Amino acid sequence: MTKIYITEFEEYCQEQLGLSKHSLRAYRQDLSAFVKFGTKVGLINQPTGQDVIAFQKDLREEQGASPSTIRRRLVTLRSYFKWREEMYPVEQSPFDGLRLDLKIPKRLPRPVDRPTLSALFQSTEHIIELDPMAAPKGLNDVSASKVTGLIARLLVVTGLRISELTSLRVQDVTGAATRIRVRGKGDRERTVYVANDRLQKDFRHYWQCKFDTLGSQAWLFENTNGDCLTPQAYRKRLRTLSRSLRIEPHLTPHRFRHSAATLLIEEGVDIRLVQRLLGHASIATTEIYTKVSDNSLSSAVAAADTLATVDCFTVP
């Protein structure tokens, strides 16, 4: 099989396309999966369209991969061979002339409902016994449990991806801790805003402590060793918190991002402003949250049950 130049392709994606570390890691996994498949079936020559179809079938039937995983693997593979065609014009992509159905079942986002968010925010100040992690270095006056809750509130207000938030440094916060400068997907820069008086006060206190203690170059959020807090570590904190509060399904950072979009749309914020806040390249990605809002409308109408009030009316 044609040698898969994973490292070279990664360098191209990072330097030319500005993809995030998360995307690069996913690309590496997708290409490695194809290499593993080629080794298993003894693929020696330049891959053909039939080899791609066989790979898709293997993912679905042998590995039981989800539709979204299969789609991602094939999209990555197609991007890779397109890059190879540009690098080596004599080669032909196995995707040329190949028609694949890469559609996946559309699932509506699952935001965290308002009562659960309220319970979460009220509880984070009182879970020190349930969260034995020490406070980050230099912030002995701010418990790790409060930091967990602070991050959750920031995610709900700003709509940030957890990878965007954990990669922030102190210097990325400006305007007396009311604005945050973010680099998102495709290395696109945007500014998000910290609303809510109480959140601004808490965040400003936290930010000032970090600035005064560790300086502007420090990571905004750290783990107990003083290193950058990773998305995986924060997800683990949320799972622990979900169990302690008996929240099912468990909380995830991305559900907070869904909540941010849904709450804004339900409050009447223009969808293009929501798109800008979330950093979506396409308005179509943001429009899915209008469907979530429609679900909320349906629930409200069902709860009101206006017809029942008519049925029980007695004509004199």
Q: Active site residue: 73, 161, 237, 255, which one? A: 161
C-beta atoms surrounding 173 within 10 Å: 23
Residue 308 within any structural domain of the chain: no
Domain count, the chain: 2
192 near 160, Cβ under 8 Å?
yes
Asked if 222 and 281 sit in the same domain, the reply is yes
Residue 61 structural domain: 6-87
Domain termination residue (choose one: 38, 69, 87): 87
Backbone angles phi, psi at 260, to 5 degrees: -55, -50
Asked if 153 and 207 sit in the same domain, the reply is yes
262 near 292, Cβ under 8 Å?
yes
For the record, the structure tokens of 293 come out as 């809002």
Note the pLDDT tens digit of each residue in 122-152: 877 643 333 333 344 444 434 666 788 899 9
CATH, residue 40: 1.10.150
Q: pTM for this structure?
A: 0.64
How far apart, in whole angstroms, are the C-alpha atoms of residue 210 and residue 168? 12
Concerning whether 257 is annotated as a catalytic residue, the answer is: yes
Q: Active site residue: 146, 237, 257, 258, which one? A: 257
Asked if 191 and 250 sit in the same domain, the reply is yes
Which residues, in sequence order, are bridge partners of residue 174?
179
Asked if 141 and 42 sit in the same domain, the reply is no
Q: Active site residue: 185, 190, 205, 276, which one? A: 185
What are the residue ranges of helices labelled H in the chain? 6-15, 21-41, 49-57, 67-87, 114-123, 144-158, 162-166, 197-214, 231-245, 253-266, 271-278, 283-304, 306-311
Q: Answer whether residue 89 shows pLDDT above 60.
A: yes
Give 142 or 278, the one with higher predicted confidence. 278
For the record, the structure tokens of 287 come out as 């429009």
Concerning whether 289 is annotated as a catalytic residue, the answer is: yes
Concerning whether 161 is annotated as a catalytic residue, the answer is: yes
Asked if 231 and 160 sit in the same domain, the reply is yes
Concerning whether 234 is annotated as a catalytic residue, the answer is: no
Q: Answer whether residue 266 shows pLDDT above 60.
A: yes
Residue 126 within any structural domain of the chain: yes
Asked if 265 and 130 sit in the same domain, the reply is yes
Burial class (CB in 10 A: 0-12, 13-18, 19+), 232: exposed
Q: Answer whether residue 314 shows pLDDT above 80.
A: no
The rounded percent of the chain whose pLDDT value lies above 70 is: 82
Note the pLDDT tens digit of each residue in 150-194: 999 999 999 999 999 999 999 999 988 999 999 887 778 899 999
Predicted confidence at residue 111, as pLDDT, reads: 87
260 near 156, Cβ under 8 Å?
yes
CATH, residue 212: 1.10.443.10
Asked if 188 and 73 sit in the same domain, the reply is no
How far apart, in whole angstroms, are the C-alpha atoms of residue 237 and residue 241? 6
Residue 307 within any structural domain of the chain: no
